[in-house]
Chain A
Amino acid sequence: MDWFKTGKKTGFRLLFWVLGLLCCPSLVHAENLAEYQIKAAFLYNFLAFTEWPAEVGNTINLCVYGPDPFGENLDKMQGQSLGTRSLAVKRVNSVDGLHGCQVVFITHPVMSNLRRVLDNLGDKPVLTVADSQDAALQGVALNMSMDQNKVTFEANLAAARSNKLNLSSKLLRLATKVFQ
């Protein structure tokens, strides 16, 4: 057991150093990035281009529901500011744990529980995001997909509005499809 724990630790260290020293400075010219690095950047933009109602407090809790595919890309968002608000990252493994989230990213393995997530959120001001086929159609506000090695996204404006959120016109303009 011990050897793999150590292996994992060194693996992580290595990963962080590699990310920290090699890839991140190159972000300035960002052209080639790992999938969930890009998707994390999209996620940040989605939050920035969402109009949050006043009832949302000073902290926006960004919750990843299901096995986390972002890893450290998400940790980088912890504490970042979003206008006057700041971001807090949470990882959630149960629908019951979604209380207090302002953003819910539903990961692929738990997409079969989408119905429950939406029932659970009701009309609270929560932005739902996913990266699974047909997710926008099924009521997720913003859904990313891969098209020829590039990330694109669809929007479900009706779903966002039913959660008292407005998506900026820029976001809607860049979406490949907007469900009204």
Chain B
Amino acid sequence: MAVPANIPLTVGLILALALPAQAETELAELNLEQLLETTVTSASKYEQKQSEVAASVSIITRDEIKAFGWRTLDQALASLPGIHTTNDRQYTYLGARGFGLPGDFNTRVLLAINGNRVNDLVYDSGPFGRDFPLDLDLIERIEFVAGPGGAVYGQNAMFGVVNVITRTGAQVDGGELSAGWQSPQSLREGRISWGKMLNNGVDVLVSASGMHARGEDLLMDFPGSGSGESLVVGQDGEKDTGFFTRVGRGPWALDFAHGDRRKDDPTAAYRSDAPPSGQFERDIYTLTQLHYQDNFVGNTLNVLGRLFLGQERFDSIFNYLGAPNNNTGASNWRGAELRSLYSGFTDHKFMLGLEYQDNPRIDQTNDDRTTPGLDTEIKSSGYRAGVYAQDEWRLNDTWSTTLGLRVDRNDITGTKLSPRAGLIWQTTAATTLKALYGRAHRAPNAYERLYDDGVSQVANPGLGGETIDTTELVVDHRLARDFSVRASLYHWSMQDIITLGIDPVSGLPQYQSGNKIKADGLELSADKRWDWGGRARGSVSYQEIAYVDGGDLPNAPQWLGKLLFSSPLPWEGLRLGYELQYDASRKAIDNSSLDGYWLSHLNLLADKWVTGLEVSLGLHNLFNQHYQHPGADTNWQTRLAQDGRSAWLKLDYRF
């Protein structure tokens, strides 16, 4: 807790005068030898030790984002164990622990900015590509909590929670100008930011950014469309603008994030006219949050309160038989959350939370622009409410347990319970064992439940929610001060998965409750730092996933490997970042097999040439590997070719 206000200082001074001077000097009289032997009883509050958390947590820092030249969230998250990404040239989808069904809109990972939910109400989408409203340069760190987070976060937190922590004005401390180029996509981007902690204690950050890419001309096939293979020219473009501002003072912070991204469609998605021309999808996110967090009662009570306001607008044009079809989605939400953490009882940390979200607008439309009037308009509204409690109980020096439960109620699936339990055993100072269990639910979103245009999909208003149960064993071991390893063995099963099937009445696609899925997996990871400034982290994950009644899942690579190495170079203050990724073969939706692939990315960072200037040069897909990702039911293509080698140059200037 900072002491910026005058009142506490005055109180402090009065007390300091009142107290005998002896207390003052004794602090100084403690000599170094004594200090080195002193045990810290209460660690600082602002960082909880990973070994004490009943979860498997990974953190990506700003330094890493710079060292590896990551420009989108999915690039950064793909460096973590068990994460695989899929791109359909429209969006990027995050797969976790083997699960990433083609056609899912990132509904099962919760994405938040400073704790504020980003996933919208029509599609439940967490945007992990350029559609994410924040520029990556504004991120201080990315926290990923693997596994179900439903016991605290509610909806969407099935496979994990990604919380993006932004920089503050004090961290930016001045102005920043940034410009980037990428070839052969003819991508240009720029950013201007200013941040400062003002003398009156107000912390301000303002940032605006924009990006434009022409994209590549792509040789595409459209099997089943009647169109042969053709070169699709100028249909892969992308445009993106973002605005972010944060004003904070003491325990208060107001965040505002706005992102507008339009991606052209070279794939003739949603089985539209092929080859496509002038088709696009556009997403606009606007997120506001007023956040309050402070400590009371001698630091034993931490209170967090937030008010939030969210809005998403989706817009698209797809052509059918020459007629442009406009599909839109719009959702508004607002709500409040109050969470208190009390550590005043010996050996207990008790958390109690309350969240309410009102969803006044959830609209979907579909319109053939050549005919008068709106063809389809589906309006709905609703609410979500959750109450959660958790107790971290320190049983003795080596054992602790975490028990938590969240009760959610909404207008779609009624009341659901999401429990979690964790047992932590600190076997030695260097080794921690964790046994974890968690359950999470997801109610179907408006698109899955209600969308009905009579052509591409019919509604299923009675569709129920899905549930995931995960058990996990985690071993964290520190081999040396700068060398740690982790093993995580997990089992999860998902019931009533919401998935696209065929309505027996109409014969049209419809979201239905699918078969149970079971998965087992092992993730091994290591993190090593060297005194000369080098760092390597890597992971190997293996998983087996299947429908319980038989049948494999598409887009589920059995093996994933990651290796990240960063190091200062002996010349010109350069820093190298090298990333190697292995994705084993995946199945396409027609059960054919897509080859596994190795990808290398290289980044060089120079920050010592000119004061205030940072230059980074990157080569993505260094060896120009040809690889493919599976398409969804809604694509003509069962496999979609991914980008080859691209070069990246970025200049950042501070003023």
Residues of chain A from 35 to 49 with CB closer than 8 A to chain B in the complex: 35-38, 40-42, 44-45, 48-49
Contact with A along B494-535 (1 / 0, CB 8 A): 000000000000000000000000000000000001011100
Question: Would you call A151 an interface residue if the criterion is a C-beta within 8 Å of the partner chain's C-beta atoms?
Answer: yes
Q: Kindly provide the distance from the CB of B173 to the nearest chain A CB, expressed in whole angstroms.
A: 5
Question: Would you call A123 an interface residue if the criterion is a C-beta within 8 Å of the partner chain's C-beta atoms?
Answer: no
Task: Evaluate contact between B26 and A138: CB separation under 8 angstroms.
Answer: no
**Contact partner of A41 among B24, B27, B140, CB < 8 A?**
B27
A144 to B167 alpha-carbon distance, docked (Å): 24
Question: Would you call A56 an interface residue if the criterion is a C-beta within 8 Å of the partner chain's C-beta atoms?
Answer: no
> How many B residues touch the partner, as a band?
35 or more
Given A27-B26, A35-B42, also A68-B3 (CB < 8 A)? yes
Task: Evaluate contact between B173 and A138: CB separation under 8 angstroms.
Answer: no
Task: Evaluate contact between A34 and B41: CB separation under 8 angstroms.
Answer: yes
Question: Would you call B455 an interface residue if the criterion is a C-beta within 8 Å of the partner chain's C-beta atoms?
Answer: no
A34 to B45 alpha-carbon distance, docked (Å): 11
A96 to B197 alpha-carbon distance, docked (Å): 11
Given A76-B24, A148-B429, A170-B32, also A109-B40 (CB < 8 A)? no
Tell me the nearest residue of chain B to A177, going by C-beta: B531
Question: Would you call B62 an interface residue if the criterion is a C-beta within 8 Å of the partner chain's C-beta atoms?
Answer: yes
- CB-CB under 8 A from B607, the residues of chain A are 115
Contact with B along A154-178 (1 / 0, CB 8 A): 0000000000000000110010010
Residue of A67, A80, A174 with highest tally of chain B CB at under 10 A: A67
Task: Evaluate contact between B23 and A20: CB separation under 8 angstroms.
Answer: yes
- CB-CB under 8 A from B37, the residues of chain A are 31, 150
Tell me the nearest residue of chain B to A171, going by C-beta: B32
- CB-CB under 8 A from A58, the residues of chain B are none
Contact with A along B420-442 (1 / 0, CB 8 A): 00000000010000000000000
Task: Evaluate contact between A151 and B23: CB separation under 8 angstroms.
Answer: no
Given A20-B15, A69-B46, A134-B533, also A112-B62 (CB < 8 A)? yes
- CB-CB under 8 A from B33, the residues of chain A are 174
Contact with B along A23-35 (1 / 0, CB 8 A): 0110110111111
Tell me the nearest residue of chain B to A110, going by C-beta: B171
Q: Kindly provide the distance from the CB of A74 to the nearest chain B CB, expressed in whole angstroms.
A: 9
A17 to B18 alpha-carbon distance, docked (Å): 11
Question: Would you call B549 an interface residue if the criterion is a C-beta within 8 Å of the partner chain's C-beta atoms?
Answer: no
Task: Evaluate contact between B298 and A14: CB separation under 8 angstroms.
Answer: yes
Given A66-B170, A109-B168, A170-B32, also A150-B40 (CB < 8 A)? yes
Q: Kindly provide the distance from the CB of B547 to the nearest chain A CB, expressed in whole angstroms.
A: 44
Given A9-B7, A17-B15, A25-B23, also A41-B39 (CB < 8 A)? no
**Contact partner of A75 among B12, B42, B171, B529, CB < 8 A?**
B12
Question: Would you call B44 an interface residue if the criterion is a C-beta within 8 Å of the partner chain's C-beta atoms?
Answer: yes
Given A8-B296, A12-B11, also A45-B170 (CB < 8 A)? no
Tell me the nearest residue of chain B to A174, going by C-beta: B32
A20 to B298 alpha-carbon distance, docked (Å): 13
Question: Would you call B321 an interface residue if the criterion is a C-beta within 8 Å of the partner chain's C-beta atoms?
Answer: no
- CB-CB under 8 A from A76, the residues of chain B are 16, 23-24, 27
Q: Kindly provide the distance from the CB of A103 to the nearest chain B CB, expressed in whole angstroms.
A: 15
Tell me the nearest residue of chain A to B26, going by C-beta: A27
Task: Evaluate contact between A71 and B43: CB separation under 8 angstroms.
Answer: no
Contact with A along B40-64 (1 / 0, CB 8 A): 1111101100000000000000110
A94 to B4 alpha-carbon distance, docked (Å): 15
Q: Kindly provide the distance from the CB of B65 to the nearest chain A CB, expressed in whole angstroms.
A: 10
- CB-CB under 8 A from A75, the residues of chain B are 3, 9, 12-13, 16
Tell me the nearest residue of chain A to B44, going by C-beta: A35
A17 to B14 alpha-carbon distance, docked (Å): 11
Task: Evaluate contact between A72 and B3: CB separation under 8 angstroms.
Answer: yes
Task: Evaluate contact between A116 and B26: CB separation under 8 angstroms.
Answer: no
A179 to B531 alpha-carbon distance, docked (Å): 9
A95 to B195 alpha-carbon distance, docked (Å): 12
Task: Evaluate contact between B295 and A11: CB separation under 8 angstroms.
Answer: yes
- CB-CB under 8 A from A99, the residues of chain B are none
Question: Would you call B258 an interface residue if the criterion is a C-beta within 8 Å of the partner chain's C-beta atoms?
Answer: no
- CB-CB under 8 A from A42, the residues of chain B are 32, 35
Task: Evaluate contact between A16 and B15: CB separation under 8 angstroms.
Answer: yes
Residue of B11, B27, B43, B607 with highest tally of chain A CB at under 10 A: B27
Question: Would you call B294 an interface residue if the criterion is a C-beta within 8 Å of the partner chain's C-beta atoms?
Answer: yes
Tell me the nearest residue of chain B to A72, going by C-beta: B12
Q: Kindly provide the distance from the CB of A12 to the nearest chain B CB, expressed in whole angstroms.
A: 4
Given A11-B296, A69-B44, A137-B533, also A27-B39 (CB < 8 A)? no
Given A16-B12, A27-B27, A38-B38, also A94-B62 (CB < 8 A)? no
- CB-CB under 8 A from A48, the residues of chain B are 28
Q: Kindly provide the distance from the CB of A107 to the nearest chain B CB, expressed in whole angstroms.
A: 10
Q: Kindly provide the distance from the CB of B30 to the nearest chain A CB, expressed in whole angstroms.
A: 5
Question: Would you call A50 an interface residue if the criterion is a C-beta within 8 Å of the partner chain's C-beta atoms?
Answer: no
A115 to B7 alpha-carbon distance, docked (Å): 35
Question: Would you call B654 an interface residue if the criterion is a C-beta within 8 Å of the partner chain's C-beta atoms?
Answer: yes
Task: Evaluate contact between B8 and A9: CB separation under 8 angstroms.
Answer: yes
Q: Kindly provide the distance from the CB of A110 to the nearest chain B CB, expressed in whole angstroms.
A: 6
Task: Evaluate contact between A24 and B23: CB separation under 8 angstroms.
Answer: yes
Residue of B9, B140, B173, B429 with highest tally of chain A CB at under 10 A: B173
Task: Evaluate contact between A35 and B294: CB separation under 8 angstroms.
Answer: no
Residue of B11, B18, B32, B299 with highest tally of chain A CB at under 10 A: B32
Task: Evaluate contact between A113 and B171: CB separation under 8 angstroms.
Answer: yes
- CB-CB under 8 A from A2, the residues of chain B are none
- CB-CB under 8 A from B654, the residues of chain A are 116
Task: Evaluate contact between A146 and B27: CB separation under 8 angstroms.
Answer: no
**Contact partner of A45 among B8, B9, B32, B168, CB < 8 A?**
B32
- CB-CB under 8 A from B196, the residues of chain A are 94
Task: Evaluate contact between B298 and A11: CB separation under 8 angstroms.
Answer: yes
Residue of B5, B28, B31 with highest tally of chain A CB at under 10 A: B28
- CB-CB under 8 A from B299, the residues of chain A are 11, 15
Question: Would you call A84 an interface residue if the criterion is a C-beta within 8 Å of the partner chain's C-beta atoms?
Answer: no
Task: Evaluate contact between A13 and B11: CB separation under 8 angstroms.
Answer: yes
Task: Evaluate contact between A33 and B12: CB separation under 8 angstroms.
Answer: no
Question: Would you call A57 an interface residue if the criterion is a C-beta within 8 Å of the partner chain's C-beta atoms?
Answer: no
Question: Would you call A7 an interface residue if the criterion is a C-beta within 8 Å of the partner chain's C-beta atoms?
Answer: yes
- CB-CB under 8 A from B26, the residues of chain A are 24, 27-28
- CB-CB under 8 A from A93, the residues of chain B are 170, 173, 197, 203
Q: Kindly provide the distance from the CB of A132 to the nearest chain B CB, expressed in whole angstroms.
A: 11
Given A20-B15, A33-B40, A149-B39, also A27-B296 (CB < 8 A)? no
Known: A32-B38, A112-B63, A116-B173. 19 other contacts (CB 8 A): A9-B11, A11-B299, A25-B23, A27-B23, A27-B27, A33-B38, A33-B39, A38-B40, A41-B35, A76-B16, A76-B27, A77-B28, A80-B28, A91-B4, A94-B173, A94-B196, A110-B173, A149-B40, A170-B32
- Between-chain CB contacts (< 8 Å), 6 pairs: A32-B41, A33-B41, A42-B35, A113-B173, A148-B429, A150-B36
Top-4 shortest CB links A-B = A93-B197, A24-B23, A12-B8, A32-B41
